[in-house]
Structure 1
Amino acid sequence: MEPRINGFDYQRVTVADGVTLTAAVGGSGPPIVLLHGFPQTHLTWRHVAADLAADHPAAISHLALLDVLPTLDMWDVLHGLNAAVAFHLYLMAQPPGLPEELIGGSPDAFFGHFLDVWTRDPGALPAEVRATYLRASRDAVTSIVADYRASAGIDVTHDTADRAAGNKLRMPVTVLQQDWGAARGYDAAGVWRAWAPDLDHQTATCGHFMAEEAPATVVGALRALLQR
């Protein structure tokens, strides 16, 4: 049986024709929606979700919590040696066929690489959780590649149109990142502030998987945002 978040009910939610998602639901009151990233499953939120479920928060409509740059800006800053850390973006941006075949040939090595090099504290990913991430990613190579391919296509089109139109995120926004932006010579907070004027940008001392490596920091940032 796959690991689960203790105390949460699991549901299958239909979001489109032929597309259903698994949702783990806990607590009561207005929901906080926690979406996992690459190459994880909902288990990345197991510590944070259990903590927040006890609070019954009053509002979530103004929440953004990311360890990433906006898509258009991401491509703008990835050049020279900086691009080496994002080889997977360039690989999965290629036309259908080659990326899927290359990754599908050794999926555990590919996805396991990011679980290893993006984690500052290896103990934050127990063996059964890591195995779950690898199994889920292995079974979803086509979908994962399609999602990343969109970041070099329609996502850029949408961001370019929003930038030209002067569209902004008008709600309060909190961005929590590991401090890799400053280390690579650019101002991540400045990039985000161009999109979100009401911004609280924080850095965390951890690897990319901050909900697992620094859950108390994440919970604190979320609770502070809910008070804004």
Structure 2
Amino acid sequence: MNDNTWIDRGPSPFIPGFRLGDVTLASGVRLRVAMGGNGPPLLLLHGHPQNHLTWHKVAPTLAQEFSVILPDLRGYGDSDKPPGGEGHRNYSKRVMAQDIIQLMDRLNYNTFIFVGHDRGGRVGHRLALDYPDRVSRCIFIDITPTATMYALTNKTFATRYFWWFFLIQPAPLPEKMIGQDPAFFLRQHIDAQNKTPDATEPAIFADYLRCYQHPDMLHAVCEDYRAAATTDLEDDASDGEKSIQCPLFLLWGEQGTVGQLYDVISTWQEKAREVTGVGLPCGHSPQEEVPGEMLGHLLPFLRRNN
């Protein structure tokens, strides 16, 4: 690492063998990061409404073969939460992808494998397009492309994924409404998406809530979704026929909205050169619902050419 890159915050209380630290990027944004293991660099990026703890069931196993990096996205967890800026640009997936590149620069990793769940996967899509020489392989979990999902919106999708349309409303409407009872909203959100009872343990949920109830995170979450419905779509449209060049592996929950409404692989074949994947017997969060089965499919792809 570069001098003064890592401000150590001690061992992770939830992920054995991992340490927590703060890394200040070239942009000045500070990210909270958990790290552990040895081997080729493997970065896992969470989605909404979680933080890096969503990986706690799979990270120790992965750390037996890889140097595992688990950041909190800007705006989420214990990372910085800057204002959204004009056009919500500070929460565009392009800027969030730039965070990941600057993080890996700080950690002295030139190329790496990327795994992204939910919003993290959407950051990964932009990462693979904007920095094709930095990402050797990508794994996206339970998403289809943002532009595709908006273009194919129907009543069923709008009902199941209502927050895609609620969170994008002008500030401070969604922030104020969620802020009246963030625990209720968070519990309803997670329970509706996961199809495996008790997959999110009480201690993990409590940490998600600790972060989620902070007004700055609520605003950042909304800015993330507002950017997805505006700036991100504009960036996608400007790319034309640009596609992901590295191998892409997809995992999704067969019992969840994405798995039930879309042919996941075909949606990504329009966006990437090499696509494979498999559905899992769960809802939206395989890493919490069926971690063993997820690792059984993920590890062979990660080990390719290592």
- Specify if TM > 0.5: yes
| AA partner of residue 271 (structure 2) | W
Question: Which residue number in structure 2 is paired with residue 147 of structure 1?
Answer: 224
The equivalent position to 2:296 in structure 1, one of 210, 220, 226, is 220
Q: Is the 8 A contact 2:252 2:259 kept in 1?
A: no
Q: Helix, strand or coil: the match of 2:54?
A: helix
Q: Is the 8 A contact 1:3 1:128 kept in 2?
A: no
Please say if 1:200 is aligned against 2:276.
yes
| AA partner of residue 129 (structure 1) | I
| AA partner of residue 201 (structure 1) | G
1-structure distance, mates of 2:252, 2:30: 30
Q: What is the Cα deviation at residue 215 of structure 1?
A: 1.1
| Structure 2: runs of 5 or more not aligned | 1-10, 68-110, 114-135
Q: Is the 8 A contact 2:167 2:222 kept in 1?
A: yes
- Structure 1 segment 1-228 matched on structure 2, within 5 A: 3-15=13-25, 17-56=27-66, 60=113, 61-139=136-214, 140-162=217-239, 165-179=240-254, 180-181=257-258, 183-184=260-261, 186-226=262-302, 227=304
Q: Deviations over 1:12-44 (max 9, x none)?
A: 011355521111110112211011111112111
Where is the strand percentage greater, Structure 1 or Structure 2? 2
Q: How many residues align?
A: 225
Taking structure 1 as the reference length, what is the TM-score of the superposition?
0.91
Structure 1 segments, 4+ long, off by >6 Å, are none
Q: Is the 8 A contact 1:119 1:209 kept in 2?
A: yes
Q: Helix, strand or coil: the match of 1:54?
A: coil
2-structure distance, mates of 1:11, 1:127: 24
Q: Helix, strand or coil: the match of 2:34?
A: strand
Q: What is the Cα deviation at residue 86 of structure 1?
A: 1.2
Q: Name the structure, 1 or 2, with higher relative contact order (CA <8 Å, separation 6+).
A: 1
2-structure distance, mates of 1:122, 1:15: 38
Alignment root-mean-square deviation, CA? 2.1
Taking structure 2 as the reference length, what is the TM-score of the superposition?
0.69
